[in-house]
């Protein structure tokens, strides 16, 4: 009976060892996968990696005005549905990308450094700006404050929206963490 116990313990020990090896190897197969997974919604954004990342809020699509919030029930996600696109909005999006590409191509401006960007469409909506800002700070659409679960770099600075109300919402969040922000109103100071 003693031999049976020793044999059983050896088998269990061997099985546990193989399980640990399998778990370790499976984690090494794709190290770019996040260490954890949150279940959140899909957040559309445009990302180009760089040594220094910029977070940018622009309008790309038009939006449907939300009804007045009563705070008696959970807000509806009508701000996620967009009604139209506009060449005026799209022009701002393309201008941001063009400016960053021009800076990256001129080696006299930032030698050996590339700028990247994380652009979100705010749809001129403060609620959407909040979710986009948290998404840029966490590097994921599964935004949880003070939590990062991706390999993406977070922005070092933010470029605010053309509307001061949307930029202010972004500033309220990013200033907590000490991120610099440039917005249209600062041009007039």
pLDDT one-digit tens code per residue, 88-115: 778 888 888 999 999 999 999 989 999 9
Going by C-alpha positions, the residue among 163, 160, 187, 185 that lies closest to residue 173 is 160
Token pair in block for residue 152: 């993406």
Pick the more confident residue, 121 or 142.
Answer: 121
Strands ordered across the beta sheet of 52-58: 45-48, 115-121, 52-58, 157-159, 181-182
User: How confident is residue 132, by pLDDT bands cut at 50, 70 and 90?
Assistant: confident
Check pLDDT > 80 for residue 159. yes
Torsional class of 136: left (φ above 0), alpha (ψ -120 to 50), beta (otherwise):
alpha
Beta carbons of 151 and 32 less than 8 angstroms apart = yes
- Are 54 and 118 within 8 A, CB to CB? yes
Q: What percent of the chain has pLDDT over 70?
A: 54
pLDDT at 118 over 70: yes
Q: What is the DSSP letter of 176?
A: T
pLDDT at 27: 46
Residues paired with residue 61 on neighbouring β-strands, in sequence order = 85
Fold of the domain spanning 45-187: Rossmann fold (3.40.50)
Helix (H, G, I), strand (E, B) or coil at 142: coil
- Burial of residue 178 (CB within 10 Å: 0-12, 13-18, 19+) is exposed
- How much is the pTM? 0.65
131 backbone φψ class: left, alpha, beta (φ>0; ψ -120 to 50):
alpha
26 band by pLDDT with thresholds 50, 70 and 90: very low
Confirm if 163 and 57 have CB atoms less than 8 A apart.
Answer: no
């Amino acid at each position: 009976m003693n031999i049976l116990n020793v044999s059983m313990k050896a088998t269990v020990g061997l099985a546990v060892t193989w399980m640990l090896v399998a778990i370790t190897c499976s984690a090494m197969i794709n190290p770019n996968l996040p260490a954890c997974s949150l279940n959140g919604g899909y957040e559309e954004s445009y990302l180009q990696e760089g040594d220094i990342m910029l977070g940018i809020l622009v309008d790309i699509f038009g939006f449907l005005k939300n009804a007045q919030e009563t705070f008696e029930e959970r807000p509806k996600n009508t701000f996620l549905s967009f009604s139209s696109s506009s060449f005026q909005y799209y022009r701002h999006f393309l201008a941001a990308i063009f400016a960053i590409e021009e800076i990256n191509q001129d080696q006299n401006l930032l030698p050996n450094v590339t700028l990247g960007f994380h652009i979100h469409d705010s749809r001129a909506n403060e609620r959407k700006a909040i979710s986009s800002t948290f998404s840029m700070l966490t590097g994921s659409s599964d935004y949880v404050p003070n939590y990062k679960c991706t390999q993406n770099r977070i922005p070092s600075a933010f470029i605010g929206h053309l509307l001061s109300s949307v930029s202010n919402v972004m500033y309220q969040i990013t200033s907590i963490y000490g991120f610099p922000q440039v917005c249209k109103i600062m041009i007039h100071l």
